[in-house]
């Protein structure tokens, strides 16, 4: 299994991506291609204690870097020798099994769509992070790639999320819920009501395990395995979860450091507190799968550490092994809404 890592993408590049890629190579046996400026990558490798390239690790030289200030829609075109463009082109050409980047989300989305291409028949690719719930995990799709959606987009997101939960997370019959302001069928705007009907039809046909509308609070309690949303609403939910997690961590630390008694309690709960911290740590998840692209692409968090990159490589390997893209291609006809002739 060979994974391309954008060594120049992310706040902590190139050290974090290089170190994380080397960790993944050692832990999971992944062959690695580091895309980026050769001299910067070799310098980062020296900082990791590697004087020579390990067997199974190679460098694809790219002289340019897509910066956050660059226009996401055109950056990969204007910077044709960027680590992002070089890496995605190699993926398209079949030189690797997956691609990982912590660079600009917009540029990655545009590059993956135009260079690697979407699965034929899919209207849009979607970001599908895994979020923690009271009962385990859930897939939130979309969370920022498509702020404005149609009924067909949301229907396709439901299928993409369901296949991901089934193939990658191992959920046998993923429960699909439509994020809304209430559980009743009549709730929400026109988009949500029309989407509900299409998801209901898919459920009745046995194509999806659609459980109906779901409010954000119920979703966090684990009442569904796939949360379907437009990118605008999904991103607000995701950022709210991240902010709430940080708030809880801060307040919990303040409470446990309050007195000698609470410090003793913290010592006794050290293991459980570590598990709690891991559950809220984005680095432990690895990244967000970009579903709908014809090859595995994973977006790592912009501030991902080496642990985050290591887990993002693992995630890309899991997506590549899962066969999810083949399932999407075989079932694309179920996801289409026929346009009525006027």
Check residue 112 and report its DSSP letter. I
Segment (H or E) for 133: strand 130-133
Name the residue range of residue 100's domain: 1-122+292-342
pLDDT(342) > 60 = no
pLDDT(73) > 50 = yes
Q: What is the mean pLDDT of residues 323-332?
A: 94
Q: Are 296 and 279 contained in the same domain?
A: no
Dump pLDDT digits (tens) for 103-150. 999 999 999 999 999 999 999 999 999 999 999 999 999 999 999 999
Which of the listed residues 264, 284, 304 is the one where a domain comes to its end?
284
pLDDT(161) > 90 = yes
User: Please, are residues 3 and 33 in contact by the beta-carbon 8 Å criterion?
Assistant: yes
Q: Are 93 and 203 contained in the same domain?
A: no
Q: Are 308 and 225 contained in the same domain?
A: no
- C-alpha 159/C-alpha 124 separation (Å) is 13
- C-alpha 150/C-alpha 260 separation (Å) is 56
Q: Are 161 and 277 contained in the same domain?
A: yes
CATH number, domain with residue 55: 3.40.718.10
Give the predicted TM-score (pTM) of the model. Answer: 0.92
Q: Are 238 and 273 contained in the same domain?
A: yes
pLDDT(340) > 60 = no
Binned at pLDDT 50, 70 and 90, residue 339 comes out as low
Which of the listed residues 284, 300, 329 is the one where a domain comes to its end?
284
- C-alpha 209/C-alpha 159 separation (Å) is 10
Beta carbons within 8 Å of 152's beta carbon, 6+ residues apart: 123, 335, 336, 337
pLDDT(83) > 70 = yes
ω into 303 cis (within 30 of 0): no
pLDDT of residue 285: 76
Q: Are 133 and 279 contained in the same domain?
A: yes
Quickly count: other Cβ atoms within 10 Å of residue 90's Cβ.
Answer: 18
Residue whose C-alpha is closest to residue 128's, from 253, 259, 274, 299: 299
Q: List strand residue ranges (DSSP E) for 123-185, in order.
A: 126-128, 130-133, 136-141, 175-179
Q: Are 2 and 82 contained in the same domain?
A: yes
Q: Which two tokens stand for residue 179?
A: 């994020």
pLDDT of residue 293: 97
Q: Are 65 and 178 contained in the same domain?
A: no
Q: Are 153 and 108 contained in the same domain?
A: no
Residue whose C-alpha is closest to residue 307's, from 15, 73, 95, 30: 15
Q: Based on the number of CB atoms within 10 Å of its own CB, is 307 exposed (0-12), middle (13-18) or buried (19 or more)?
A: middle
Check residue 66 and report its DSSP letter. -
User: Please, are residues 308 and 301 in contact by the beta-carbon 8 Å criterion?
Assistant: yes
Q: Are 191 and 209 contained in the same domain?
A: yes
Which of the listed residues 234, 254, 284 is the one where a domain comes to its end?
284
Vertex 135 angle, CA 129 and 139, to 5°: 20
CA 75 to chain centre: 21
Q: Are 118 and 8 contained in the same domain?
A: yes
Structurally, how many domains does the chain consist of? 2
Q: Are 231 and 147 contained in the same domain?
A: yes
């Amino acid at each position: 299994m060979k994974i391309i890592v954008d060594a120049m993408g992310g706040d902590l590049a190139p050290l974090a991506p290089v170190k994380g890629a080397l960790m993944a190579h050692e832990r999971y046996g992944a062959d690695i291609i580091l895309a980026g400026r050769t001299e910067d990558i070799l310098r980062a490798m020296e900082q990791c204690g590697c004087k020579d390239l390990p067997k199974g690790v190679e460098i694809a030289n790219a002289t340019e870097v897509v910066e956050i200030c660059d226009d996401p829609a055109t950056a990969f075109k204007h910077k044709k020798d960027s680590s992002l463009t070089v890496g995605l082109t190699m993926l398209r050409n079949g030189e690797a099994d997956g691609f990982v980047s912590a660079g600009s989300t917009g540029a990655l989305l545009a590059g993956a769509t135009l260079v690697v291409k979407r699965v034929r028949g899919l209207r849009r690719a979607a970001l599908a992070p895994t979020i923690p719930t009271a009962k385990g995990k859930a897939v939130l799709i979309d969370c920022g790639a498509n702020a404005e959606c149609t009924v067909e987009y949301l229907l396709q997101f439901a299928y993409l999320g369901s296949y991901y939960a089934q193939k990658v997370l191992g959920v046998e019959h993923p429960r699909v819920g439509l994020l809304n302001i209430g559980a009743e069928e009549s709730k929400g705007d026109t988009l949500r009501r029309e989407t509900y009907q299409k998801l209901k039809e898919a459920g009745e046909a046995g194509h999806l395990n659609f459980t109906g509308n779901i409010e954000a609070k119920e979703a966090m309690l684990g009442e569904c395995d796939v949360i379907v949303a437009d990118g605008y609403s999904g991103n607000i939910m995701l950022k709210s979860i991240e902010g709430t997690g940080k708030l809880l961590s801060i307040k919990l630390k303040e409470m446990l450091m309050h007195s000698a008694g609470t410090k003793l309690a913290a010592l006794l709960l050290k293991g459980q507190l570590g598990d709690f911290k891991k559950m809220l740590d984005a680095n432990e998840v690895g990244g967000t799968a970009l579903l709908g692209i014809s090859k595995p692409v994973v977006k790592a968090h912009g501030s991902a550490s080496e642990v985050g990159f290591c887990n993002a490589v693992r995630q890309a390997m899991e997506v590549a092994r899962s066969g999810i893209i083949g399932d999407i291609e075989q079932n694309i006809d179920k996801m289409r809404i026929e346009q009525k002739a006027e």
